[in-house]
DNA sequence: CGACAGGTTGAGTGAGCTCAAGTCGGGTGG
DNA sequence: CCACCCGACTTGAGCTCACTCAACCTGTCG
């Protein structure tokens, strides 16, 4: 219903193809389905995208969230997961496997694949955490890090999306975030807006030793 | 102690570099550590390798198992995880980022990265499963599939390794496997040797609808 | 204003973790 | 050869954390 595509074609003859095609999509739009032929890969210009697959028992697994400058849809042959717009998004679309102009693109493809691999690793990393608090903390930190480290952060996806990404229920996610707020690690300004109060403690919970500071992570229940 | 390296150098002048260097390592040998400069990537000739990282609270996350023909260590700059020999292994070692002979390797690198990405996706896929039974079943199937589909399969890694890969405890892994044996889905011939009796049921538990046959996966508790 | 999607919170249950024995097999030394 | 050890595995008992079920709240949209 609300799905709508607006294409700003920049492919007017002289225009360089490598710039990609700008595509604007409404919230909820399905960019591609699992098993579709992987004819394009995408770079996020603005907004948030989620990639997901459906398990045999019907439950959804979100394999990644993609923000500005992230790439997704880098698959060979056919897509291994579907992709949907979490918010309204603007994407840059590129043709995959450009067998015709294989020149400059071949080495560029390496960098694209590396970025995709990095995204996959980020997802794996989240799953390494044991408890709900650990996972949610790690997730929040991953968002903060991508937001340039500002303490006030917008969470574009729903609790349900987060839950399906961390392999928890939306109840547990909600409870855990509320718990963080109760402990004054964060402040909620509506469900989607979070202000980080104690990043240090949050990093301890996540237990990644991410970059700066103390490595003497010792949990105090 | 038992760590020992035997190198069969095939780099005698005329030999093509692309063949790599054969390396033989004993069980338990640490191939590289997290944060080491990523100077080589590897292909498994025989045996099994695990890649792992250590979380802030000290617990271990195994990010992948690698068997014959699998590649690992495909990182940019520095390794994101360490790699260890699960069994005695023979590896083919390749120099990373061959800035000198960038010609044939550039497009080959794309294929290598794709394989690495596939491995990462396999790991993510395992984590998508909710219960211990689901995860262990999916794990067993992944081994069976790589073993050419023979019903008798050797499990080279310990219960502890499996647990750290599936984010479970070794107790739960052991209990779940015993449960499978009790239900006659599998037969154990020692802890490391498993014979699959009911692959169909196992696939239902894993809930992936993997490849052949019925897609009407509907769980019956 | 009602409908609805998203979110929060409570109560009870159960799967998986913790703690604790106990078993099995392969090595090593007397 | 047997005693012993040690690492890997198994199994039981109890507890806890996260899931299930359920109710309610809040904001948005028609």
Per residue in A37-71, pLDDT tens?
999 999 999 999 999 999 999 999 999 999 999 99
The per-residue pLDDT for A207 is 82
- Beta bridge partners, B95, equal B40
B204 contacts in chain A (CB < 8 Å): 56
What CATH class is the domain B131-220?
mainly alpha
Residue A212 has pLDDT above 70, yes or no: no
Query: Cβ contact (<8 Å) for A124 and B123?
Result: yes
Residue-wise pLDDT for A167-188, tens only, equals: 999 999 999 999 999 999 999 9
User: B56 to chain A: nearest residue by CA?
Assistant: A207
What CA–CA distance (Å, rounded) separates A62 from A64?
A: 6
Q: Cite the residue boundaries of each domain of chain B with CATH code 2.60.120.10.
A: 4-126
3-state secondary structure of A76: coil
How is residue B135 written in tokens?
């995860």
Interface check B162 vs A, CB under 8 A: no
CA dihedral B70, B76, B77, B81 (to 10 degrees): -50
Confidence at B105, pLDDT banded by 50, 70, 90: low
The per-residue pLDDT for B99 is 55
φ and ψ at residue B201, rounded to 5 degrees: -65, -40
B105-129 as b/e: b if 16+ CB within 10 A: beeebbebbbbbbebbbebbbbbbb
Interface check B56 vs A, CB under 8 A: yes
* H or E, element range at B40: strand B40-46
The per-residue pLDDT for A26 is 95
Residues 6+ apart with CB under 8 A from B138: B125, B126, B129, B205, B206, B207, B208
Residue B25 has pLDDT above 60, yes or no: yes
Instruction: Calculate Rg over the CA atoms of chain A.
Output: 19
Confidence at A216, pLDDT banded by 50, 70, 90: very low
Tell me if A59 sits within 8 A of B130, measured CB to CB: yes
Residue-wise pLDDT for B130-163, tens only, equals: 999 999 999 999 999 998 878 899 999 999 999 9
The per-residue pLDDT for A210 is 42
Nearest partner of A73 among A54, A101, A50, A90, judged by Cα: A50
In this structure, is the CB of residue A178 within 7 Å of any atom belonging to strand C?
yes
The per-residue pLDDT for B66 is 97
Tell me if B176 sits within 8 A of B218, measured CB to CB: no
Q: Cβ of A45: how many Cβ atoms within 10 Å?
A: 15
Place of tokens 């500071």: A213
Q: Cite the residue boundaries of each domain of chain B with CATH code 1.10.10.10.
A: 131-220
The per-residue pLDDT for A128 is 95
The per-residue pLDDT for B65 is 98
Residue-wise pLDDT for A109-163, tens only, equals: 888 999 999 999 999 999 999 999 999 999 999 999 999 878 899 999 999 999 9
Interface check B206 vs A, CB under 8 A: yes
Residue A51 per-residue DSSP state: E
Residue B23 has pLDDT above 60, yes or no: yes
A116 contacts in chain B (CB < 8 Å): 117
- Strand D nucleotides, any atom under 7 Å to a protein CB: 8-13, 17-22, 27
CATH architecture type of domain A4-126: Sandwich (2.60)
Place of tokens 């896929």: B125
User: What are the helix and strand counts (H, E) for chain A?
Assistant: 5, 12
Residue A3 has pLDDT above 90, yes or no: no
């Amino acid at each position: 219903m609300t799905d709508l595509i607006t294409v700003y074609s920049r492919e007017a003859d002289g225009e360089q193809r490598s710039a990609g095609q700008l595509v604007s999509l409404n919230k909820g739009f399905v960019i591609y389905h699992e098993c579709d032929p992987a004819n394009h890969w995408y770079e996020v210009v603005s907004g948030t995208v989620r990639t997901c697959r459906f398990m045999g028992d019907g439950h959804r697994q979100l394999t990644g969230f993609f923000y500005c400058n992230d790439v997704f849809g880098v698959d060979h042959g056919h897509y291994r997961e579907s992709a949907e717009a979490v918010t309204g998004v603007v994407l840059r679309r590129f043709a995959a496997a450009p067998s015709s102009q294989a020149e400059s693109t071949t080495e560029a493809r390496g960098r694209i694949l590396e970025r995709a691999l990095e995204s996959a690793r980020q997802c794996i990393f989240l799953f390494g955490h044991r408890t709900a608090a650990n996972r949610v903390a790690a997730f929040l930190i991953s968002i903060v890090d991508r937001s340039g480290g500002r303490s006030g952060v917008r969470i574009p996806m729903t609790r349900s999306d987060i839950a399906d990404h961390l392999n928890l229920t939306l109840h547990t996610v909600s409870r855990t975030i509320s718990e963080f707020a109760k402990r004054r690690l964060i402040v909620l300004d509506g469900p989607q807006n979070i202000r980080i109060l104690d990043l240090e403690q949050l990093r301890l919970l996540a237990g990644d030793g991410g970059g700066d500071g103390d490595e003497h992570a010792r949990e105090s229940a």
